[in-house]
Amino acid sequence: MAYQSFEDLEVWQRSCRLAVEIFQLFGDCKNFVMRDQIQRAALSIPSNIAEGQERDSRKEFTRFLKIAQGSCGELRTQLYIARKLNLLNPEDFGRLKPETKEIAAMLRGLIRAIDRQIPKKPKRTAPSSETEN
């Protein structure tokens, strides 16, 4: 996992492209609630990747990657709803849905890679129930 900053991460680059596409597709949407929610979820993915990496802590980075992963699921849910409301055409839905799945899988892989680098705390042993006399 050799990278200098979040800008080097493919998952960040792809999630930025996805956010831009979402903003373009929903920019003229008259359903302001849906537009706001879907744009916020899309923007949250690369933003949380960046924020977590800038925290300079593996544990914090992992935490923010999990938040980004949650936003990815949130976005995919909103894409399903937008499609059912005819706010998104079938072609765009067919392209965006797999992209959210791939980004989520990339985030899972990155989380696992970081978790392997974090030393595990030793398990505590239960105190002895015997008392010394």
pTM score = 0.85
Q: Can you give the pLDDT at residue 33? A: 96
Predicted confidence band of residue 4 (pLDDT cuts 50, 70, 90): confident
Per-residue burial over 84-108, b = 16 or more CB atoms within 10 Å of its CB, e = otherwise: eeebbeeebbeebbebbeebbebbe
Q: Which of 78, 75, 79, 74 is nearest to 94 (CA)?
A: 79
Residue 90: inside a domain, yes or no? Answer: yes
Domain count within the chain? 1
Q: What gap in Å lies between CA 100 and CA 104, rounded to an integer? A: 6
User: Identity (one letter) of the amino acid at 88?
Assistant: L
Q: Can you give the pLDDT at residue 34? A: 97
- Across the range 124-132, mean pLDDT stands at 58
CA 89 from centroid of its chain's CA atoms:
24
Residue 16: inside a domain, yes or no? Answer: yes
CATH code at 59? 1.20.1440.60
Q: Can you give the pLDDT at residue 56? A: 82
- Helices 90-117 & 58-84 angle (0-180, nearest 10): 160
- The answer on pLDDT for 1 being more than 90 is no
**Tens of pLDDT along 83-122?**
999 999 999 999 999 999 999 999 999 999 998 886 666 6
**Beta-carbon contacts of residue 63 (< 8 Å; ≥ 6 apart):** 52
Q: What gap in Å lies between CA 119 and CA 105, rounded to an integer? A: 23
Residue 123: inside a domain, yes or no? Answer: no
**Tens of pLDDT along 15-70?**
999 999 999 999 999 999 999 999 999 999 999 999 999 998 999 999 999 999 99
Radius of gyration of the chain (CA): 20
CB atoms near residue 5 (< 10 Å)? 10
Residue 92: inside a domain, yes or no? Answer: yes
Residue-range definition of the domain harbouring residue 90: 6-117
- The answer on pLDDT for 130 being more than 90 is no
